[in-house]
């Protein structure tokens, strides 16, 4: 950049979530000064959202000296179970098959909000990072040398300038909208419900592993053990604005009733520490680089949560974009980042999550049985099972 065009920092990151924090930390470790603009306050709410950490993501966190604290608290998943709420057929995949392919031959369950807190503590210790809360980007201009952002801070407006901006500001990305980047794709017609409950499923369900995926007459039902609580996700007929009675949710209780074989252990009531109804999407930005603005994470691509690839691919984006911005030829490296990461989302993440969601939401009994028999055949063949686990673990995907 010409010396008569000073900037506030070489890079500005929009968004203080997991993708933005990893981007900032990875940049700081590469001795690049960065400003992070987060519209919300500095409190991280304890929301049970994403929780899956796949092996290659843990390897990237290890490079940032964060694998050890995550491993100390997370639930280690040694197997994936596929079952049905009405059928006896099942399939089991053991992560030990990945030994020798990764330093971490297992999956972790570690709540996203805990990861964000960990990342923010790490970022706060970095002198190269200026983390600013309550800063809402409302305007964006750029030329061949810099990006200028209009930022609302309280009742004031300030300008923040940089060589490059990374938009890690989520599914409703302000930067993507200000730049008029098309975000084509589709929204699933079925709603999803996420429930967090302290109910001890391990005492009520025989041979229950840390992660189980059930098919059923109303669609998918999953149980995931996180460090503090069980997390369930399922298809639901309840509308986004509907409010179930306190401590219950009819669709959730119906699935649990099938899971427990009609036993009355729940007395028709399960404590819910949190429930959230949301819609899932498959969307992909037309470009991950627009001039000097780079898109990463949900700002660039959205996918179904089934299989836990959204958070992981966003973290992969973050490390990749930081690597590109640390390259001697930033223009070439960032163009390569945009092409490569978009290709990964288009050719791997979206097809994989679409297949996961479509097959899991099937309700036809014969089709559910056929799917489980097919999965069992794959699981019983070590080579096929290893290939399957590599795919669902996102191994072998270029970052």
- Kindly report the pTM of this predicted structure: 0.93
pLDDT in tens, 368-395: 999 999 999 999 999 999 999 999 999 9
Q: How many helices (H) and strands (E) does the chain have?
A: 12, 19
More confident residue, 361 or 198: 198
Q: Is the dihedral of CA 47, 53, 57, 61 positive or negative?
A: positive
CA distance 263 to 257: 7
pLDDT at 194: 85
Distance (Å, rounded) from C-alpha 10 to C-alpha 372?
52
Q: Which domains does the chain have, with CATH numbers?
A: 9-76+110-185+281-366 (3.50.50.60), 190-277 (3.30.70)
Residue 156 bridge partners (DSSP)? 153
3-state secondary structure of 8: coil
Note whether 193 and 275 are within 8 A (CB): yes
C-alpha separations of 378 from 38, 338, 341 in Å: 45, 35, 29
pLDDT confidence of residue 264: 44
In tens, the pLDDT along 91-107 reads: 999 999 999 999 999 99
| Residue 339 CB partners (closer than 8 Å, separation 6+) | 288
CA angle 364, 368, 374 (to 5 degrees): 145
Confidence band, pLDDT 50/70/90 cuts, at residue 265: low
Nearest to 336 by CA among 305, 303, 294: 294
Give the pLDDT of residue 299. 98
Q: Is the pLDDT of residue 342 over 60?
A: yes
């Amino acid at each position: 950049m010409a010396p008569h065009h000073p900037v506030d920092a070489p890079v500005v990151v929009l968004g203080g979530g997991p993708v933005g924090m990893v981007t900032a930390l990875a940049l700081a470790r590469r001795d690049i000064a960065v400003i992070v603009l987060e519209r919300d306050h500095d409190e991280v709410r304890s929301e049970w959202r994403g929780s899956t950490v796949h092996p290659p993501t843990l390897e990237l966190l290890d490079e940032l000296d964060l694998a050890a604290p995550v491993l100390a608290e997370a639930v280690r998943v040694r197997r994936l179970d596929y079952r049905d709420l009405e059928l006896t057929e099942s399939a089991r995949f053991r992560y030990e098959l990945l030994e020798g392919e990764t330093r971490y031959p297992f999956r972790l369950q570690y709540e996203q909000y805990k990861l964000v807190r960990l990342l923010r503590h790490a970022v706060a210790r970095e002198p190269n990072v200026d983390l600013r809360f309550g800063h809402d980007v409302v305007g964006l201009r750029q030329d061949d040398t810099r990006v200028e952002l209009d930022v609302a801070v309280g009742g004031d407006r300030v300008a923040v300038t940089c060589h490059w901006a990374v938009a890690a500001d989520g599914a409703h990305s302000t930067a993507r909208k200000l730049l008029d980047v098309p975000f084509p794709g589709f929204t699933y017609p079925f709603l999803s419900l996420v429930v967090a409950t302290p109910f001890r499923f391990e005492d009520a369900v025989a041979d229950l592993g840390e992660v189980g995926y059930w098919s059923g007459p109303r669609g998918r039902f999953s149980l995931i053990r996180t460090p503090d609580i069980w997390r369930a996700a399922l298809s639901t007929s309840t509308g986004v604005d509907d409010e179930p009675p306190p401590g219950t949710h009819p669709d959730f209780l119906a699935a649990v009733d099938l899971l427990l074989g009609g036993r009355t252990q729940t007395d028709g009531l399960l404590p819910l520490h949190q429930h959230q109804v949301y819609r899932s999407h498959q969307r992909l930005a037309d470009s991950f680089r627009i001039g000097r603005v780079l898109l990463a994470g949900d700002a660039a691509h959205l996918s179904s949560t089934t299989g836990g690839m959204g958070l992981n691919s966003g973290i992969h984006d973050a490390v990749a974009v930081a690597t590109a911005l640390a390259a001697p030829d930033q223009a070439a490296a960032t163009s390569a980042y945009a092409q490569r990461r978009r290709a990964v989302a288009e050719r791997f993440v979206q097809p994989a999550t679409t297949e996961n969601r479509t097959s899991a939401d099937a309700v036809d009994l014969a089709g559910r049985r056929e799917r489980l028999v097919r999965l069992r055949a794959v699981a019983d063949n070590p080579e096929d099972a290893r290939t399957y686990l590599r795919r669902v673990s996102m191994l072998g995907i270029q970052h």
